[in-house]
Structures are given as structure tokens and as C-alpha cells.
A and B are shown apart, each in its own frame.
Chain A
Amino acid sequence: MSLEIPPGGCVTLSAPSGAGKTRLLRAIADLDIHEGHVYVDDRECGQWDAPMWRRNVALMMAENQWWGDTVGEHFARAETPWLQALGFDRDVLARQVSYLSSGERQRLALLRLLGNQPRVLLLDEPTASLDEENVTRVEALISSYRLESGAAVLWVSHDVAQVRRVASRHFTIAAGTFRAVSQ
């Protein structure tokens, strides 16, 4: 399979579970040993320092993880406008992670990732645990980040309506290959 995403492009991917969507995203993020090649700006993954690669090719999983006590500990950078776009003010950085709702955690996990200003976003069902209002907010933030920074997005989603809203192209995985789906 071969796929090229232009700067600012958003490609969505849906496939039955077990088809290898998450494995594909993990391979692109260089979290697992993999075959094949991934390029950003014509530079192959192996030519990048690995932590630098992952800061530029950011993977967001369906389940978010926290290790410190307060929200702020997890942020390299927290942009106030982004916090506001997702319905937070700066006070949230001092809050205890354990008191956050699952929706709040997911939104903050996205912000945490954007703090690295990635060139590529790999999203693995990022809105699966969110209510409608927050889905709209997250979609809007990703869109504006993508358009402002020119980041390329590869978005795994099962939500047909969401795919229609965000995708510039849509693919499924069938028999180990990408198949373009016309919209």
C-alpha cells in the first residue's frame, strides 16, 4: 500500500476491527518494528532522531494516558487560545488529572500533542469517548490547526458523518491494501 498526504490534507481511514488500522498508525509513528518507508519532507523516518520524529509525527490513541498528578505536568507548551477553543481556561493546568471527566481528558490529550506542533497528526478514533458538543470542538480545533500549520492528518474514524465532515479523501483497508472510497 502507498499513500501520500499533502500538507493540510486530511485522509480518513475506516476498516473493520482487526484490519490493522492501529498497527498502521503505530508503524508510522515508529512505535513498533515495521517494514516499508515513511517520509516527511522527503526525509525517511530512519534519518530522523526517533523522539524528534514522534514530536513531528504525533499519534493520538483512542485511550489517553496520564502519569503525573496535575494536568500541567504533561504539557511541554500550552497555548491559551487552544485551551479556550476546547472550552478550558488556564486554571485547568493546575487541576488534578483524577478529577477530570473522560471527555476532558481526551480533549486535553489532544492539546498536549499539539503542544509539540507536529507536522503530521495520526488520530486513532480521537472523538470516540466524546459527546456531540465536544466532538464539534475537537473537529474544529483539528481543522484549524491543520489549515494554519499545514499539518497532514491521517484520521481513523468509524463515524460516517464525521468522515464526510473532515475528510479530503477517504480510504478503507481491504485484503491488506488501501482502497479509495469516493464520496
Chain B
Amino acid sequence: MKFISLSWFDLMLAASLIVAVAGLSLRLHLGLGKQVLIAALRTVIQLSLVGLVLKMLFENVHLLWMALIALVMLVAAGYEVVARQQRRFTGWWGFAMGTSSMFISTFTVTLIALTVVIRPDPWYTPQYAIPLLGMLFGNSMNGVALGLDRLTHTAWQQRAVIEARLMLGQTGSQAIADIRRDSIRSGLIPVINAMAAAGVVSLPGMMTGQILAGAAPLDAVKYQILIMFLIAAGTGFGTLAATTLASQRLFDQRHRLRLDRLK
């Protein structure tokens, strides 16, 4: 099988379709034309920059560069987790929780995948490490953000229930146990759905990409299965860590519900 490289002219042909959509929007007064064009421009600029970074990384394979990129991704993911919260922890707590649970979930799982399962040489080969990190960050970020949002939101709404349980002599973690379980579940539902529907309802993106790049379908399928498992594991660990940290932070050492720690 052969991989057909795209020229910039090919992309301009595709861009003309976007311009057509923008023109249609102008004609129909949808007020979306500008947004579509700006978003398309951002796609081009952002992805091209990433392409340049990846090119540089692939040409200079070094653990230090990989670590730096991973760190940038980690901080960005931690920030995104917090940004999706309706009720955030005050101060640096939200960011610290998001980052540390992303660290637990994504870094450990990627490390295991690279050193035990795929075993490229060296183990931090960017061609494998970067896509793995990217997919794991992107997906477990969703789980962590959903789980945390559910936890803080429900704790806020069910304050009276939590306090009624505290008043019966339950500890903070007993009083929030049900809410925490629901939050973990809502963090994991997307990835469970994705695994259950894979191949039947949707063709997963990475597999599609590998097939387009000329890989044999069965090889692509194996990688996709691996990725699905890693994502499920990462999301599971991450959501568990985030909701555990957050439910501890919602109570003080006297087992009082401290909603004042949210804003």
C-alpha cells in the first residue's frame, strides 16, 4: 500500500470549500462566516506549528526534549481541566488537583505502554511517545473534568444531605461517598461508550489515520485496541485520583463541609 502525500495546493482546494461555507453564511445572514474563517485559520496555524515542533523533535531525539514537551502538555491539560469547572476550588487547589491527577493517569499509563508493551528503542521515541501522550491527555482530561465537575456541582446542590449525614456522625468521606461514586461513573461513561461503540457506531480516529497512512487494517486495529485500553485505564485512574483529592479538600480535619473552598 502507498501513502499519498498532500501538497499545499491540495489543501487550498479543501480550503475553497470552507470559503464556500463562509460565503453561504454571509448570503444567508447567519453571522458565522467570520467565525468559520478564523477557526479555519487557527487550525492551519496551530497544526503547522505542532508539525514544526514534531519535525524538530523527530530530528533531535532526546529525553530532555520529550520531557519538556510532556510537561507543557501536562500543564495545559491541568489548566483545561480547571477551565471546564462550573465550581472551582479557590487558589491553586483546582489546578494542582487537575495536574496531579492528569500526571497519575497519563504519565504512568504512557510509561507502562512505552516500556512494557510497545518497547520502541529508545523508549521515548517521539513517534510513539507523542501520539500516545496526546491521545491519553485529551481523553483522560475529559473524564477528569467531567468527574470533578459532577462532584463539586452535586456537593454544592446537596449540601443539606451531606450535612445531614455528618450530623448523624458520618465522616466526610462517608457523607460524600454516594456523590463520589456518581462522579466517577459520569467521568467513565464516555470512555465506556467509546469502547462499546468502537467499530460499530464509529471508526476511531487513530485507526482511520493509520489506514490512511497505508498501514494494514489489522495492524491499525491492534493499535486502536491498545489505545482504547490505555485511555480507559488512564481515565479510570485519573478520575479516581481527582475525585478522591477533591472530596478530601471539600472537608476539613473536623469533617465540616467546606463549600467556601469552592467559588
Contacts and interface: CB of A to CB of B under 8 A. Distances in A.
Identify which of A33, A60, A64, A67 gathers the most chain B CB atoms within 10 Å of its CB: A67
A50 B255 contact: yes
B167 interface: yes
B166 interface: yes
Interface in A32-78: 32-33, 46, 50-52, 54-55, 58-61, 63-67, 74, 76
Interface string B252-263: 111111000000
A73 B166 CA distance: 15
A67 B161 contact: yes
A29 interface: yes
A140 B252 CA distance: 37
Nearest to B253: A50
- 9 nearest CB pairs, A to B: A55-B169, A65-B164, A50-B255, A50-B254, A65-B161, A51-B169, A59-B167, A54-B169, A65-B160
B166 A33 contact: no
A163 interface: no
Contacts of B252: 33
A113 B170 CA distance: 12
Contacts of B163: 31, 65
How many residues of B sit at the interface, in one of the four size bands?
Answer: 10 to 19
B121 interface: no
B59 interface: no
Interface in A84-109: none
A48 to B, nearest CB: 10
B153 interface: no
Nearest to A118: B169
A30 interface: yes
Interface residues of A, number: 25
Given A67-B161, A67-B178, A32 B168 contact: no
Contacts of B253: 50
B164 A51 contact: no
B100 interface: no
B169 A31 contact: no
Given A65-B161, A66-B161, 5 more contacts: A50-B255, A51-B170, A51-B255, A60-B167, A61-B167
A65 B160 CA distance: 7
B25 interface: no
Contacts of B169: 51-52, 54-55, 76, 116
B168 A55 contact: yes
Identify which of A46, A52, A64, A65 gathers the most chain B CB atoms within 10 Å of its CB: A65
Interface of B: 160-161, 163-171, 178, 252-257
A76 to B, nearest CB: 7
A40 to B, nearest CB: 14
A31 B170 CA distance: 12
Interface string A1-45: 000000000000000000000000000011111000000000000
Nearest to B174: A51
A30 B254 CA distance: 8
Given A52-B169, A67-B178, A61 B164 contact: yes
22 contacts: A29-B167, A31-B167, A31-B257, A32-B256, A50-B171, A50-B253, A50-B254, A51-B166, A52-B169, A54-B168, A54-B255, A55-B168, A58-B168, A59-B167, A63-B160, A65-B160, A65-B161, A67-B165, A74-B168, A76-B169, A112-B168, A113-B167
B5 to A, nearest CB: 60
B167 A76 contact: no
Contacts of A33: 252, 256
